[in-house]
């Protein structure tokens, strides 16, 4: 099942996470009040009644779920796209956690930016906050976007390096195995990767590392099929 706008409007993303309590998984999530305070804090750096840009580098590209008035490609510097967050529910399990994309320090990243009209900022950003900020694995921050003709500010969600599920040093073998085999309530990690690659290509963006990773993940899945579908589990810290 895919995350939907109605899930976010009803706050069901939080419900999904809390459902894990029956199996003894301890997850810390932000309350609605905490999400609102976090949102208010970042908006203090923006002029009142103005449009807001959001930078997308993963699932927000192919499943934005928000109302926006403009969409364009752009690049940020000082951050790069990386599978750097362990996921134990949405696209993984405690026994075989998946990996989720985040923005990690260094390099650059091409993605998509959405402009949200001032009149929609309060409602649309709350939906994004419920989606991206609930579990604390991301930190919202302002970044500089370059679209080839101009520079402007946008909100991006970068990896929280202090979070227990931040994947600091993960081998390529572990990354490939995790993405090739992990799945959860929102689907598989492999599907997440493939849709992200396809979404980037549709926008004229070719991420060489993701293209290579896609090739390796598909080869791993093919090898598992040949070997009878056995999977390997991945431990994380």
Name the residues annotated as catalytic: 132
Half-sphere exposure of 234 (CA within 13 A, CB side): 27
User: 56, 156, 197: which is closest to 113 by C-alpha?
Assistant: 56
Helix (H, G, I), strand (E, B) or coil at 159: strand
Q: Cα–Cα distance between 4 and 63 in angstroms, integer?
A: 9
Contact 1, 187 (CB under 8 A): yes
The whole-angstrom distance between residue 31's C-alpha and the CA centroid of its chain comes to 20
| Greatest distance between any 2 Cα atoms in the chain | 59
Strand duo 151-159 + 183-184: pairing: unpaired
The sign one gets for the Cα dihedral 90, 95, 100, 102 is positive
**Site of tokens 């227990």:** 164
**Site of tokens 């990354």:** 175
């Amino acid at each position: 099942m895919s995350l939907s706008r109605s899930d976010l409007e009803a706050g069901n993303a939080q419900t999904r996470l809390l459902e894990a309590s029956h199996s003894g998984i301890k997850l810390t999530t932000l309350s609605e009040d905490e999400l609102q305070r976090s949102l208010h804090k970042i908006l203090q750096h923006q002029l009142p009644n103005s449009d807001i840009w959001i930078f997308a580098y993963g699932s927000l590209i192919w499943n934005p779920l928000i109302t926006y008035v403009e969409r364009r490609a752009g690049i940020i510097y000082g951050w790069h796209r990386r599978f750097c967050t362990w996921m134990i529910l949405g696209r993984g399990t405690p026994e075989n956690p998946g990996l989720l994309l985040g923005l990690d320090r260094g390099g650059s990243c091409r993605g998509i930016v959405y402009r949200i009209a001032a009149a929609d900022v309060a409602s649309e950003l709350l939906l994004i906050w419920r989606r991206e900020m609930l579990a604390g694995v991301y930190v919202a921050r302002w970044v500089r976007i370059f679209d080839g003709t101009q520079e402007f500010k946008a909100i991006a969600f970068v990896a929280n390096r202090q979070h227990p599920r931040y994947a600091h040093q993960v081998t390529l073998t572990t990354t490939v195995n995790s993405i090739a085999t992990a799945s959860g309530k929102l689907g598989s990690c492999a599907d997440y990767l493939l849709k992200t690659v396809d979404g980037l290509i549709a926008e004229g963006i070719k991420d060489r590392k993701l293209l290579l990773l896609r090739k390796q993940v598909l080869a791993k899945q093919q090898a598992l099929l040949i070997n009878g579908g056995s999977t390997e589990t991945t431990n994380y810290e």
